[in-house]
Amino acid sequence: MAVSSAPGKVYLFGEHAVVYGEPAVPCAIERRATVTVERRDDDALRVQADDLSLDGFTVEYGGPRDGHPDIDVPQPLIRAAMGYVDGAIEQVRDVTGESDVGFDVTIESEIPLGAGLGSSAAVVVAAIDAATRELGLTLETEELADRAFQTEYAVQEGQASRADTFCSATGGAVRVEGDDCRSLEAPSLPFVIGFDGGAGETGELVAGVRSLREEYDFAAQTVETVGDLVREGEAALEAGDIEEVGRLMNFNHGLLSALGVSARSLETMVWAARDAGALGAKLTGAGGGGCIVALDPTPEAETALRFTPGCEDAFRAELAEEGVKRLE
Ligand code: PMV
DSSP string, 194-262: EE-S----HHHHHHHHHHHHHH-HHHHHHHHHHHHHHHHHHHHHHTT-HHHHHHHHHHHHHHHHHTT--
Ligand 1 atom closest to Cα of 164?
A: 3
- Is the domain of 168 the same as that of 194? no
The pLDDT score that the predictor gives to residue 214 is 96
Using the mean position of ligand 1's atoms as its centre, give its distance from the Cα of residue 307 in Å. 28
Using the mean position of ligand 1's atoms as its centre, give its distance from the Cα of residue 203 in Å. 9
Cα(285)–Cα(196) distance, rounded to whole angstroms?
Answer: 14
Using the mean position of ligand 1's atoms as its centre, give its distance from the Cα of residue 50 in Å. 26
Q: Is the CB of 116 under 6 A from ligand 1?
A: yes
- Is the domain of 133 the same as that of 208? no
Domain boundary among the residues 185, 204, 227 is at 185
Per the annotation, binding residues are 112-122
Q: What is the ipTM score, two decimals?
A: 0.96
- Is the domain of 129 the same as that of 103? yes
Using the mean position of ligand 1's atoms as its centre, give its distance from the Cα of residue 223 in Å. 14
pTM for this prediction: 0.90
Alpha helices in the chain (DSSP H): 76-96, 119-134, 141-155, 163-170, 202-215, 217-238, 242-258, 264-275, 300-306
Cα separations in angstroms, 285 against 10, 125, 126, 206: 7, 18, 21, 11
Nearest in space to 277 (alpha carbons), one of 293, 254, 300: 300
Instruction: Report the CATH number at residue 106.
Output: 3.30.230.10
- Is the domain of 167 the same as that of 285? no
Catalytic pick from 86, 129, 146, 164? 164
Is 325 within a domain?
no
The pLDDT score that the predictor gives to residue 54 is 40
Torsion angle defined by CA atoms of residues 125, 131, 133 and 138, in that order, rounded to the nearest 10 degrees:
-40
Spell out the per-residue pLDDT of the chain, length 328, in tens. 999 999 999 999 999 999 999 999 999 999 999 999 999 999 888 888 766 544 445 565 545 444 544 444 445 556 677 788 999 999 999 999 999 999 999 998 888 877 889 999 999 999 999 999 999 999 999 999 999 999 999 988 877 789 999 999 999 999 999 999 999 999 999 999 999 988 888 889 999 999 999 999 999 999 999 999 999 999 999 999 999 999 999 999 999 999 999 999 999 999 999 999 999 999 999 999 999 999 999 999 999 999 999 999 999 999 999 999 999 9
The residues that bridge with 5 in the sheet, in sequence order, are 34, 325
Q: Is the CB of 26 under 6 A from ligand 1?
A: no
- Is the domain of 48 the same as that of 170? yes
Is 327 within a domain?
no
The pLDDT score that the predictor gives to residue 160 is 79
Q: Contact, 286 vs 206, CB < 8 A?
A: yes
Q: Is the CB of 226 under 6 A from ligand 1?
A: no
Stretch (H or E) spanning 13: strand 2-13
- Is the domain of 6 the same as that of 154? yes
Stretch (H or E) spanning 36: strand 25-39
Domain boundary among the residues 170, 185, 200 is at 185
The pLDDT score that the predictor gives to residue 69 is 47
Q: Is the CB of 80 under 6 A from ligand 1?
A: no
Mutate to test the pocket of ligand 1, among 27, 155, 161, 213 (most ligand atoms within 8 A of CB): 161
The pLDDT score that the predictor gives to residue 191 is 97
Is 106 within a domain?
yes
- Is the domain of 195 the same as that of 179? no
Is 328 within a domain?
no
Q: Is 296 a catalytic residue?
A: no
Ligand 1 atom closest to Cα of 209?
A: 10
For residue 273, the SS3 value is helix
A 10 A CB-CB count for 56 gives: 12
Domain boundary among the residues 185, 209, 242 is at 185
Q: Is the CB of 44 under 6 A from ligand 1?
A: no
Degrees, nearest 5: CA angle 24-306-28: 25
Q: Is the CB of 9 under 6 A from ligand 1?
A: no
Number of structural domains in the chain: 2
Residues in the chain: 328
- Is the domain of 283 the same as that of 148? no
- Is the domain of 144 the same as that of 259? no
The pLDDT score that the predictor gives to residue 24 is 97
Q: Is the CB of 206 under 6 A from ligand 1?
A: yes
- Is the domain of 22 the same as that of 41? yes
- Is the domain of 50 the same as that of 110? yes
Per the annotation, binding residues for ATP are 112-122
Ligand 1 atom closest to Cα of 14?
A: 9
Instruction: Report the CATH number at residue 283.
Output: 3.30.70.890
Cα separations in angstroms, 110 against 107, 127, 209: 10, 15, 30
A 10 A CB-CB count for 235 gives: 11
Is 97 within a domain?
yes
- Is the domain of 138 the same as that of 199? no
Is 323 within a domain?
no
Domain extent, residue 150, equals 2-185
Cα(280)–Cα(312) distance, rounded to whole angstroms?
Answer: 20
